[in-house]
Structure 1
């Protein structure tokens, strides 16, 4: 019994590469959230997080601090995320 040959995938590969190249200029990842990463002194980091939460309320934009880490020198590196628009 002979095993069938694999189908050529070059056409699919070219198509995927073309689509990915078209999307390179867009900022939204597949999950639809807008993200921005900051590295600020502790007090400025708190102020920036408050600013985001006041400008884009959690109830409408699902705004949240996605991740954060303490860095040397009392610096806080954090990523904020939100939906691009509210309905």
Structure 2
């Protein structure tokens, strides 16, 4: 048996809280979020890794999720410069 789902108001407050924490981060990473079809999403991620090599920029896919219609929403993260 599955546990009951929390009320939407509770979920909404938790999301607002986590978004405020994320917005207040004081790190130096550059982030960009995309919503693209699966093939285009792969190409965009490859483009980032080619343009900003992981070893120098700490490039990574920070988060991703699959939306309706096989659309991928993902956030790429990297350092602004490589020394």
Q: TM-score, normalised by structure 1?
A: 0.67
Q: SS state of the match for residue 82, structure 2?
A: coil
Unaligned runs of 5+ in 2: 1-24
RMSD of Structure 2 on Structure 1 (CA): 0.7
Alignment coverage as a number of residue pairs: 59
Which whole-Å CA distance do the structure 2 matches of 1:30 and 1:83 have between them? 13
Which whole-Å CA distance do the structure 1 matches of 2:26 and 2:79 have between them? 12
Where in structure 1 do 4 or more consecutive aligned residues deviate above 2 Å?
Answer: none
**Where does residue 30 of structure 2 map in the other structure?**
34
* Greater Cα radius of gyration, structure 1 or 2: 1
Unaligned runs of 5+ in 1: 1-28
Which whole-Å CA distance do the structure 2 matches of 1:32 and 1:38 have between them? 20
2:53 is aligned with 1:57: yes
Q: TM-score, normalised by structure 2?
A: 0.70
